[in-house]
Amino acid sequence: MPIQTPICDFGQKALPFELKSTDRKIISLNDIKGENGTLIMFICNHCPYVVSVLDDIIDEARNLQKLGINVLAICSNDAEEYPQDSFENMKKFDLDHLFPFPYLHDADQSTAKNFGAECTPDFFGFNQNLELQYRGRLNNKRENPEVVKRELHEAMSMIAETGQGPKEQSPSVGCSIKWKN
């Protein structure tokens, strides 16, 4: 059963973290803070919602990086119950798709809990002061494949320009985070 993200809590500060990336570097929030904003995505390797939009996620990440917005992805799923989301499989997934952003492993799930992540994909768009301004979906492609509205890109562009996100946001929908017992 699909899960929806909650309404954006405008101004919520991003909480610090230090997580291992698929290239074995430890990356902190301060390391990835973008000049004009930061996009933090909770994804995983096996979720059909993520897999179905992965090419769009990668394209949008490249476009946002050109605007001075840093992008990263975090996998927080329980790798014991869902071995396809193990760190080794994350490295393979990253290489197979040539991610233009760091892919981080939240092994103890504390970062997902601190952010209030609900599903995969779950997008958190922060302004240059690391204040939450977007908690919506990637696009409307599922509803209207003929006229795709790039909601994430439009919101993050607005954040880069004004520091504020759009007041109207449609929730992201995906698989629940696979929490440990």
Token reading at 173: 């929908």
Which pLDDT belongs to residue 129?
Answer: 98
Q: What count of Cα atoms within 13 Å lies in the side-chain half-sphere of residue 20?
A: 12
Which pLDDT belongs to residue 54?
Answer: 97
Which pLDDT belongs to residue 144?
Answer: 86
pTM value > 0.85: yes
Which pLDDT belongs to residue 81?
Answer: 96
pLDDT band, residue 90 (cuts 50/70/90): very high
CA dist 139 and 49 (Å) reads 12
Nearest to 73 by CA among 31, 110, 101: 101
b/e 124-133 (16+ beta carbons within 10 angstroms → b) = bbbbbebbbb
**Angle value at C-alpha 124, between 123 and 128, nearest 5 degrees:** 140
Which pLDDT belongs to residue 145?
Answer: 86
